Amino acid sequence: MSAVKVMKSASAINANITDCNPSLINELISKVDALTMEVSEMTSILKEIKETFEKDISNPRIIIVEEMDKNSARQLVLDFMRSHKTSDIAELHENIKCDIAMLIEIIDELCREGKIAEGDSKGIKCQSSET
């Protein structure tokens, strides 16, 4: 939108404001303020994501995947979760060293069984000591 159009729109809004209910204007100002804060928060989050991405991309990790059957990998996941309580897929993959697709499948199964669950920002967490 050009500056001229913005100015014309602003003039039109100003001309109509005098006809508006003051409580409506205050409500609109509150909504604009709330949206401004939300955009500011999203901008901060995006900045953090960008910084994390740039840090991760500059330090790539190579994981040598070991051949193993699903039951062995599942047991390794359970043992790891028992001892660490929380983890994420990347950390599990680095430690278990199984195929990533199989690891995701195992995590999904364990979540459905209630043995692990989505956690906080760390990713997944152990549900109970009997896992």
Torsion of CA 36, 42, 43, 45, to 10 degrees: 150
Clarify whether residues 46 and 75 are in a common domain: no
pLDDT in tens, 80-105: 999 998 888 889 999 999 999 999 99
User: Domain of 91: which CATH number?
Assistant: 1.10.10.10
Residue 13 binned pLDDT confidence (cut-offs 50, 70, 90): low
Averaged pLDDT for residues 56-74: 87
d(CA 66, CA 71): 14
98 is in which domain, residue-wise?
Answer: 70-126
Clarify whether residues 15 and 46 are in a common domain: yes
| Contact assessment for residue 46 and residue 78, using Cβ atoms and an 8 Å cutoff | no
Residue 65 lies in a domain: no
Residue 18 lies in a domain: yes
Clarify whether residues 112 and 87 are in a common domain: yes
